[in-house]
A and B are shown apart, each in its own frame.
Chain A
Amino acid sequence: MTGVLAQARPLLEWDWVGRNGELLWELTRQHLYFTGMAVGIGLAISLALSVVALRWRATLTPILGFGSVLYTIPSLALFALLLPVLGIGDALAITALVTYTILILVRNIVAGIDGVPREVIEAADGMGYRPARRFLEIELPLAMPVVVAGLRIASVTVIGLVTVTALIGRGGLGALILRGFRTLPPFPTMIVVGTLLSVVLAITVDLLLLGVERALTPWARRKTAP
């Protein structure tokens, strides 16, 4: 197939890119919107699930198991499963994407909180912290590096997956890639530009989150005393 593509037209036609700047921007924006919604909602749900898992330890394994099941369902199958409930639309796309973030995020949030040193928790209790405030002021900030690491993996994963939602009529840059295939003869520029922009988006978001993490954890980079 790539042979056919290569023969038919050049891989990248710059004049097309130049003429369609507005379309590309629109699709990139849409791509980001889906990613942001999915990771944002995924984070909220994961935080809630993590609080439950941390409060009642016995629920951790079932929660992670649930996340794993969601994670392993092929995206196409998931669309088919959710379609009767949600219909075609953004809700279907975002819901499907959210399911892929849960496992990654819950696991990282729980690992991050578990990684808070025992003596720090004991000191906080000894000072008279109550559990909710201790979680928000002590445990969550200290878990931040691990949580953000999870967010980075989830975001990069979702940016890749958004393209698949093109199959249900959404998909941001995925829509461009799909159109490139469906055009007769296939139009490689669309496929290449869609793919490249998606990759660039993933790298940019990853670096941005890294920046966020560094801004949120100034203490982690100060040099250690001898």
Chain B
Amino acid sequence: MPETTAAPVAGTATPTDPMIALRGLTKAFDGQDRPAVDHLDLDVPRGEIVVLVGPSGCGKTTTLKMINRIIEPTSGEVFIDGQPTSARPAHELRRDLGYVIQQVGLFPHKTIAQNIATVPRLLGWDRDRIRARTAELLERVDLEPELASRYPSELSGGQRQRVGVARALAADPPVLLMDEPYGAVDPLVRGRLQDQLLELQRELGKTIVFVTHDIDEAIKLGDRIAILNVGGVLEQYAPPAEILREPANDFVRSFLGAERALKQLSLQAVGDAELVRGPVVAADESATAARSVAQAEGVDWVGVLDGERLRGWLWTDDLEDGRRVGDHATRDFRVMVDHATSLRGALDAIVTSRNQVAVVVDDDRYRGMLFIEDVARRLTLSGGGRANRRATPAVSEDRA
């Protein structure tokens, strides 16, 4: 096994022992010549999202299901909060571990409220407490209270998946196990569900083990990613930035794919990137001053600032001598991104709008500009020096 697996959390300041510890965990299915999971050691720190990712047959789902004993290990042990899971009856253990699966598995004959109330009812909570908790959870996962009395078949896929999460959270378990929960929803909904999970996690601080085959999902969600190879071999276990920066071996490198650099962009917010001020002038500057700013930047347009707000832009050819810049008509920038957007998100926005520059704002405040050449340079890591700034905020139609 690679050296990175030996002491996963050593070095980082983990105040307490891990929430979940896998020790020598092995599963050999009858009739298969090699184990699905082979002597896996893994520590899941408290309050973190750990993503198990790998190709099919890597044992990620088997590993997850051994944590709540849906699958019993052939050998090895799982410790939760220091206690071996084998020490208590499986059904009791499971009531303490939230469980979300890809097909959601809502009970079709029970209403949404009854579905969410499943574990509290098994635990024998009283009626009022269950009702209050159900209402609270619906709100937490952004579902309207009216949905409480509906049946699962009346909900959309995304809504059902959110009910699945609410049901898993119902008895406030410290641990959430999620088995490819967003595998069956369309990409747009998936993105929203992922954002919602991160938000929930910030509020609730659960320890989450998340299984996916999608490396982008792993990078987006994971505090740590465990990359598994066929046969349950742990190839690397590290935070996403580290994995992208220093893949442990060729397997990890090839699993990350050719777009490794692009993926790194998704870990950095534009607000933290090196933004340029760009060719911008205050509204009360003269046309002459504006032209010289544009010239210095090597472009044929300028942006117009109203105080801290960027009003828009215009071609230098349209500047009339003797008038202030603010007296000219301006065009709107096509790509405005929030400073918290990832570099990858900003790049996508620039490219899909067939533009070359994004304006970065913090609420209404102008923070700077991101030019496509600058992002491209990060990707290639070559071509030093300042890019030839031919970029404009215009698309071809604007020229006409």
Contacts and interface: CB of A to CB of B under 8 A. Distances in A.
A208 B288 CA distance: 90
Contacts of B159: 225
A129 B107 contact: no
Contacts of A127: 94-95, 99, 118-119, 122, 167
Sorted from nearest, which 6 A-B pairs have the closest CB atoms? A123-B105, A126-B99, A128-B95, A119-B103, A119-B105, A128-B94
B-side interface mostly: mixed
A130 interface: yes
A123 B151 contact: no
A127 B91 CA distance: 8
Nearest to A126: B99
Contacts of A122: 70, 101, 105
Contacts of A125: 70, 94
Contact of B101 (A126, A141, A223): A126
Contact of A128 (B92, B106, B155): B92
14 contacts: A122-B101, A123-B101, A123-B105, A123-B164, A124-B105, A126-B70, A126-B105, A128-B92, A130-B91, A138-B107, A218-B151, A222-B150, A225-B159, A226-B156
Contact of A219 (B103, B118, B151, B177): B151
A177 to B, nearest CB: 42
B63 interface: no
A142 B110 CA distance: 10
A61 interface: no
Interface in A115-137: 117, 119-130
B68 interface: yes
Chain A interface residue count: which class?
Answer: 20 to 34
Interface of A: 117, 119-130, 138, 141-142, 217-220, 222-226
A220 B151 CA distance: 9
A-side interface mostly: helix
A126 B94 contact: yes
A73 B295 CA distance: 102
A83 B104 CA distance: 55
B112 to A, nearest CB: 11
Contacts of A120: 105-108
Contacts of A117: 103, 105, 108
B101 A129 contact: no
Given A123-B104, A126-B94, A222 B70 contact: no
Contact of B109 (A123, A217, A223, A226): A217
B374 to A, nearest CB: 43
B199 interface: no
B153 interface: yes
Given A119-B101, A127-B95, A220-B108, 17 more contacts: A119-B102, A119-B105, A123-B99, A123-B104, A123-B106, A126-B68, A126-B94, A126-B101, A127-B94, A127-B118, A128-B95, A129-B91, A142-B109, A219-B153, A222-B150, A225-B153, A226-B156
